[in-house]
Structures are given as C-alpha cells and as structure tokens.
C-alpha cells in the first residue's frame, strides 16, 4: 500500500471508531506523526489533504518543515516529544501546538518566550498515567494542581498521555479522560498506531499515528 492509501485507511478506521463510540463524525483529529520521515514521505499526505503533523524533536522539525510550510501554509505542527528549556525559543517559533508541557520550569520558560515573541502555541499537559519512573509527564496525583498553575501562564487546552507499552491502554485513556473532564479541558491526545481505536472509544480528540501511515521507522543504531 502507498502512504496515501495507508492514510485513507487510518482515516476510515477513525470514522468507524467515532461511529462505534456514538461520537460525531470529525470529532477526532488525526495528527500524522512524521518523525524520522523526509519530505518525500510527507508530501503525498499533504497532497491528500492531511494538515496536522507531529514531530518529537525540535531540531529535526526545524530542518524539514519550513519548506513544506511555504507550500502548505495552513498545516499545523504539533510537538509530541520532550522539550528542553534551551529549545523553547525555537519550539515556540515553529510549533502550533506543544503537547508535552510537564514541569514548572518549562511552564515558566514557555510563558516568558510567548510574552517575548507574541506567539502563543496551544499547550497540552503530558500526564504520566502509568507513573513510570523513566517517562515524562506529571503524575496523576499531581495533575490537577499542575494544570491549574500552568493555565495561569499558558494557553492550556488539553492533556496528553503515552500509556505503558506492556499494559492494556484503556484504563490509562479513561484516566486521562477523567482528569481532562475534571479540569474542564476539551482536548485529549491519546492513541497511537496500535491503539487509536481504543483511545477514540475512551474519548480521544487527537490521535497520534505514525507507523500505520508512514511504515516502520528506521531502527536507531547504538549511541555513538
């Protein structure tokens, strides 16, 4: 299957999952995760009408998106990977949505850069729903207080999670949904290639799908 065919198949699955969950058609937006893939892979999806894209590294995104954006000015870029405070300036300049806000220092750095630049990308708070020690995100117990503080400085519109790889993701999606509802936040970014239908059943509004559209990513070699 071509990339355009993969994209169409994913969109059909999203439409079916929306209907199965008795949700309105179009209530779930597809973020095509293009990390590691070059313009030759991304262009067919733009031509097919895809406009939301996710990247996990600021530097990689800076290298490939300005040229694509010149051709497709209405595309939207989401940062879905960890953000270091020393990359905040570049991130605010490039991304339309930052999905990985997860610590007070980052809130502070983003708020200052947004004030300085006048650009205000929408923000999602990443929640570590599985409380995994190695994983980014605020702990579920600390989410409400963190969200309340972050909202005073940033345009926070929702929550994002990446469930543990070895568990049923459904309870994690349900937890993110509950935390978003309690905070009165409309956006829930959850679900990837392997589980986006389950995420839609649990109320995802943004699904982040890479492999099912672009194929497998090259396996990174050993660290140099």
Ligand X SMILES: *Cc1c(COP(=O)(O)O)cnc(C)c1O
Q: Which of residues 79-108 bind ligand X (CB under 6 A)?
A: 80-81
> CB of 90 within 8 A of CB of 60?
no
Four-CA torsion 147, 111, 75, 53, nearest 10 degrees: -50
- In the complex, the smallest distance separating the C-beta of residue 114 from ligand X, rounded to whole angstroms, is 22
- In the complex, the smallest distance separating the C-beta of residue 115 from ligand X, rounded to whole angstroms, is 27
100 to 119, 130, 200: CA distances (angstroms): 17, 16, 20
- In the block, tokens 């070699």 appear at 221
Q: Which of the ranges 88-96, 129-137, 167-175, 202-210 carries the binding residues for ligand X, by CB under 6 A?
A: 202-210
Member of 6, 56, 128, 205 binding ligand X (CB under 6 A):
56
37 binds ligand X (CB under 6 A): no
Q: Which of residues 61-80 bind ligand X (CB under 6 A)?
A: 80
| SS3 call for 28 | coil
In this complex, which beta carbon is closest to ligand X, that of residue 85 or of residue 193?
Answer: 193
Q: Which helix (H) or strand (E) holds 223?
A: none
- In the complex, the smallest distance separating the C-beta of residue 33 from ligand X, rounded to whole angstroms, is 4
137 binds ligand X (CB under 6 A): no
Member of 77, 175, 185, 209 binding ligand X (CB under 6 A):
209
Instruction: Map residues 140-179 to x or -, x wherever contact with ligand X holds by CB under 6 A.
Output: ----------------------x-----------------
By beta-carbon distance, which residue lies closest to ligand X?
210
36 binds ligand X (CB under 6 A): no
208 binds ligand X (CB under 6 A): yes
- Residues touching ligand X: how many (CB under 6 A)? 14
29 binds ligand X (CB under 6 A): no
Nearest to 191 by CA among 168, 209, 215: 209
DSSP annotation string for 142-187: HHHHHHHHHHHHS-EEEEE----TTS-SHHHHHHHHHHHHHHT--E
What gap in Å lies between CA 171 and CA 138, rounded to an integer?
Answer: 17
In this complex, which beta carbon is closest to ligand X, that of residue 114 or of residue 192?
Answer: 192
Burial of 44 per CB tally in 10 Å (0-12, 13-18, 19+): middle
* Residue positions counted in the chain: 224
Q: What residues line the site for ligand X (CB under 6 A)?
A: 33, 35, 56, 80-81, 162, 192-194, 208-212
């Amino acid at each position: 299957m071509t990339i355009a065919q993969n994209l169409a198949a994913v969109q059909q699955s999203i439409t079916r999952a929306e209907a199965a969950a008795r949700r309105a058609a179009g209530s779930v937006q597809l973020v095509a995760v293009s990390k590691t893939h070059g313009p030759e892979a991304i262009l067919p999806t733009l031509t097919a009408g895809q406009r939301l894209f996710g990247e996990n590294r600021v530097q990689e995104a800076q290298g490939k998106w300005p040229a694509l954006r010149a051709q497709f000015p209405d595309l939207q870029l989401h940062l879905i990977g960890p953000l270091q405070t020393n990359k905040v300036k570049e991130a605010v300049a490039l991304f339309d949505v930052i999905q990985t806000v997860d610590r007070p220092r980052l809130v502070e750095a983003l708020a200052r850069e947004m004030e300085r630049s006048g650009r205000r990308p929408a923000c999602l708070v990443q929640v570590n729903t599985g409380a995994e020690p190695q994983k980014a995100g605020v702990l579920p117990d600390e989410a409400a207080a963190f969200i309340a503080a972050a909202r005073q400085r940033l345009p926070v519109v929702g929550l994002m999670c990446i469930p543990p790889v070895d568990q049923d993701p459904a309870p994690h999606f349900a937890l993110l949904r509950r935390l978003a509802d309690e905070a009165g936040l409309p956006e829930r970014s959850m679900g990837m290639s392997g589980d986006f239908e389950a995420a839609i059943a649990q109320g995802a509004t943004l699904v982040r799908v890479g492999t099912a559209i672009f194929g497998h990513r090259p396996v990174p070699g050993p660290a140099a």
